[in-house]
Amino acid sequence: MIKLNFFNNKGGCGKSTSTINVAHAMTRLGKKVQVVDCDNQQNTFCFFSDSQDENYRGSTRYDNIDIAFNSEINGDYDYIILDLPPALDERTRGIVSSCDFVFVPFELSRFSIQGVAKVTEAIAATGVKFGGCFVNKFDRENPADHNLEEMLRNTLGDKTMRTRIPSSRVIKNSINYNETAFEYMDWTAAAEAYMALTREIITICGGGNNA
């Protein structure tokens, strides 16, 4: 069993959306997944759970995905994925340090790149393995995004992951309809990107590429 989390100290960078779509992609690759929402906004918990009771812990409408809020479920899982709040407090550091890997969703901007060192330093202080940073909401038609991605790679080197999640109305609309990108439009670049990201994460975690 591998425990990983999505963390960034900035809000709005795609932690919850990444958790939701990667968890679903993992099950499509034959994995059994537990999702733990550790953010008091409970966006991920509400997406997966039909119950309004935050103490609910158990199955979801997706085969092989279980959900819990702020606590883990005893069971036999391939992956446990934790969605973290955008904070660098002691609680968050404790949660990060309990995991095997941390992955950082990153929305490109000069200010974000200037602050990425603070994020990686916080991760290093926990002793957890930094799986990598992946670019979210990437606009391939915008030259500035290509330039900023190059700056990020110059800063993080091979810890900048290959997969980019595109800026896409599919992602926004799917969440609005309480669906993953795969359910909303399975053949789109957005869905393909989340599957590629999931394969890359599994490879980094030592689980092969499940091609």
DSSP readout, 185-209? Answer: -TTSHHHHHHHHHHHHHHHHTTS--
Reduce the DSSP state of residue 14 to 3 states and report it: coil
Q: How sure is the predictor about 208, in pLDDT bands with cuts at 50, 70 and 90?
A: low
Q: How sure is the predictor about 211, in pLDDT bands with cuts at 50, 70 and 90?
A: very low
**What pLDDT, in 10s, does the model give residues 102-147?**
999 988 888 888 888 888 888 888 889 999 999 999 999 999 999 9
CATH code of the domain covering residue 123:
3.40.50.300
Q: What's residue 14's pLDDT? A: 81
Reduce the DSSP state of residue 134 to 3 states and report it: strand
Q: How sure is the predictor about 162, in pLDDT bands with cuts at 50, 70 and 90?
A: very high
Q: Which residues pair with 133 in a beta bridge?
A: 104, 160
Q: Is residue 25 part of a domain?
A: yes
**What pLDDT, in 10s, does the model give residues 19-54?**
999 999 999 999 999 999 999 889 999 999 988 788
Q: Is residue 211 part of a domain?
A: no
Number of domains forming the structure of the chain: 1
Q: Which residues pair with 138 in a beta bridge?
A: 166
Structure-token match 């999505």, residue found: 6
Give the C-alpha separation, 182 to 194, whole Å.
Answer: 9
Would the pTM count as exceeding 0.85? yes
Domain that holds residue 127: 2-204
Q: Is residue 209 part of a domain?
A: no
Give the C-alpha separation, 91 to 208, whole Å.
Answer: 32
Q: Is residue 210 part of a domain?
A: no
